[in-house]
Structure 1
Amino acid sequence: MRAAVCVRAGGPEVLEIRDVPVPAVRDGWSLVRVMGAGLNRSELRTRQGHSPGVRFPRVLGIECVGVVVASTDPALPEGTTVAAVMGEMGREFDGGYAEYVLLPDALLMPVTTTLAWEVLAALPETYLTAQGAFDALGIRPGETLLIRGGTSSVGLAAASIAHGHGVEIAATTRRPEKAGALRAAGVDHVLLDDGGSPITPWPAGPSHVLDLVGASTVVDSLRLVRRGGTVCVAGSLGGWLIRDFEPIAMIPSGTRLTAFHSNDAKGSAGAAVLERVVREVETGVYQPHVDRVFGLDDIAAAHQYMEDNRAAGKVVMLPRGTS
């Protein structure tokens, strides 16, 4: 089979297309023919050498969708459509940047759908994270939501979910040319991020903030949200740690700070949520945005595209190309 092997830490050029053996099935693991894989910035950071414990060479890819080819689990018969995400994919063991991948049975989420592979591939990591964060926020129809980091793939997915549930949305972007993608996802108010605190259209502040920028903006988000509202952190574009954080001083009385991590939506924990997301996409309630589709041969170009911050939405890889 063909796989994109990250041979060492470095730039996109360290991703080499190689012919490698198809993995052999073993107890507790199933062989999946990869039909598509969403690309993620965490894979970019792993490629750059910022994921402690990852040893090269390694096939990257923290998510994929495909079809079971062989399994020792009767619950996963040949031909089952599945999705998988996280669980050390592309880190401790090889991930989705390949024509076939051997995955732990516990990670596989069977799904029934008629969606095209490039659409289905755009959903697992992105929409499970966005849906999980939306559920953690507890937003109800008619409430207001500020999404910080709105043109990230999770930001656009969250906007699609919120719009589908009748929520008024504002979202930030650092790049004015991406405003159209936000509006297409259902954002009512596009806010240009100039590095300061955004001015929202609600004098008392939004009832909820989804902060995908992370550590560098969390304290400001707590100041922005309406008193008694909720801030959910579900991204790390601006770092992992909040230095000198003083909860009593920095969290206003009655305001809630929560978080969601996509690792909480892997395997059986995410299967029902993914089915719900797929149904909403199929019926048109959610409108996923696939920014660009690359073939396996173009994986280095796909990484450069991500590194240049050119995407507004999900970047997807189809191992057998786009034709």
Structure 2
Amino acid sequence: MSSTMRAVVLDRPGPPQSLQVREIPRPDPGPGEVLIRVKAFGLNRSEQHFRQGLATSGSFPRVPGIEAAGVVEEAPGGELPPGAQVVTMMGGMGRKFDGGYAEYVLVPAGQTIAFVSDLPWEQLGAVPEMLQTAYGSLTMGLQARAGQSLLLRGGTSSIGLAAAVLAKREQMTVWATTRTERHRGLLESVGVDHVLIDDGDIAAKVRALEPDGVDGAIELVGVNVLKDTLRAVRAGGTACFTGMLSDQWTIPDFYPMDWLPNGVRLTAYSGDAGSLPAPVLQEFLDAVARGRAAIPLGRVYALEQIEEAHHDMEAGVIGGKGVVLTQNPRRTGPTAPG
């Protein structure tokens, strides 16, 4: 086996062209560690923030990437057999230690989730962080129940699309926002019941059809619209702050009595591999294989196209979850989930 690997290295914060594909030493696992041969990895806004120097943690030079999907190459402690299919995410990946933008990634054994699936790697690579965040936001952030109503502020994001898929599996009524009419079909393709064009006043649009407000909301845009999102939620309901597509995540001079409507709860969600139970991952993948759920896959890139991928992510033109294949990619355009 070669002692080197191809990896994307970021020496310092900068524009997309700061991401350089290089040959670097392949890591060697020790006890309690798993070396994963990466087949695919998803693209995430937090990696864009890290590249731009906006992250609050991490060091350079660094191989970015907070998630990966692949097969076990080595596990000296015997936690997993070689060849086992696994995903991994978070836990310091791509910040404190080298992440998934590489042919191999070394992670703590407890940070892996095993699964079995015949789905193609471009689909599997889209799932880990997207499913973990959507599932955690619904279950831990909102404690959502079957049949409730849900607002997704930032519905065309990969997490918004995944949350819609999960919510519809629970017979929830889903409202989702987009800034442009051309994304209506994408949202409707994952089962969204009410598509709302976001002009900054979503609460009024929701209450025009649902006077009491929705049972829950997942905020994926940022604090610049959070106050309005809270006003779309009924008394006794919950809004979960999960994402910040607008790159705005702090509230100057926060005054709770002004921001929080009477009886509306505000929570937040940020999870890791331990937040996604293995049975939930397996059940979701099985449902996709049977045509009962969909993976909102956007564009697929080669490792050498990482600069283009980050340009597309910044421009918001991926149209779902962006995925990079480490070997022999089949380049695709935006894909509307079926």
TM range (shorter): over 0.9
Structure 2 letter corresponding to 1:299: I
| Matching of residues 220-231 of structure 1 within 5 Å | 220-231=228-239
Q: Determine the structure 2 residue equivalent to 1:290.
A: 297
Question: Alignment partner of 1:209: what SS?
Answer: strand
Structure 2 letter corresponding to 1:305: D
1:280 shift after superposition: 3.2
| Matching of residues 76-155 of structure 1 within 5 Å | 76-136=80-140, 137-155=142-160
Distance 2:216 2:172 in 1: 10
Distance 1:78 1:90 in 2: 23
1:268 shift after superposition: 7.2
For structure 2, the residue ranges without an aligned partner over 5 or more in a row are 331-338
Q: Determine the structure 2 residue equivalent to 1:254.
A: 263
Distance 1:267 1:3 in 2: 26
Distance 1:87 1:270, change over 3 A: farther
Distance 1:124 1:158, change over 3 A: same
TM-score (norm 1): 0.93
Range moving further from structure 2, 253-262 or 68-77: 253-262
TM-score (norm 2): 0.89
1:26 to 15, 19, 30: 30
- Say which structure, 1 or 2, has more relative contact order (CA 8 Å, 6+ apart): 1
Is the CA contact (8 Å cut-off) linking 1:107 and 1:268 kept in structure 2? no
Is the CA contact (8 Å cut-off) linking 1:84 and 1:267 kept in structure 2? no
Is the CA contact (8 Å cut-off) linking 2:132 and 2:276 kept in structure 1? no
Question: Alignment partner of 2:40: what SS?
Answer: strand
1:317 shift after superposition: 0.4
Structure 1 letter corresponding to 2:139: D
| Matching of residues 272-283 of structure 1 within 5 Å | 272-283=279-290
Q: Determine the structure 2 residue equivalent to 1:177.
A: 182
Distance 1:267 1:80, change over 3 A: farther
Q: Determine the structure 1 residue equivalent to 2:63.
A: 59
Range moving further from structure 2, 201-210 or 36-45: 201-210
Q: Determine the structure 2 residue equivalent to 1:47.
A: 51
Distance 1:246 1:101 in 2: 44
Q: Determine the structure 1 residue equivalent to 2:16.
A: 12
Structure 1 letter corresponding to 2:286: R
1:128 shift after superposition: 0.9
Q: Determine the structure 1 residue equivalent to 2:333.
A: none
Question: Alignment partner of 1:20: what SS?
Answer: strand
Distance 2:290 2:255 in 1: 45
Distance 1:214 1:285 in 2: 31
1:185 shift after superposition: 1.2
Superposition RMSD on alpha carbons, in Å? 1.8
Is the CA contact (8 Å cut-off) linking 2:153 and 2:219 kept in structure 1? yes
Distance 1:93 1:164 in 2: 36
Superimposed CA distance per residue, residues 85-126 of structure 1 (whole angstroms, 9 cap, x where no aligned partner):
001101111111111111111211111222211111111101
Structure 2 letter corresponding to 1:94: D
Structure 1 letter corresponding to 2:251: I
Distance 1:321 1:63 in 2: 20
Structure 2 letter corresponding to 1:168: T
Superimposed CA distance per residue, residues 197-247 of structure 1 (whole angstroms, 9 cap, x where no aligned partner):
351231222121111123222222222111222211111224222233333
Aligned pair count? 321
1:276 shift after superposition: 3.5
Superimposed CA distance per residue, residues 31-59 of structure 1 (whole angstroms, 9 cap, x where no aligned partner):
11001101101101111112244322211
Structure 1 letter corresponding to 2:80: L
Superimposed CA distance per residue, residues 121-169 of structure 1 (whole angstroms, 9 cap, x where no aligned partner):
1111011110111113233333211110001110010111112221111
Q: Determine the structure 2 residue equivalent to 1:208.
A: 216
Q: Determine the structure 2 residue equivalent to 1:162.
A: 167
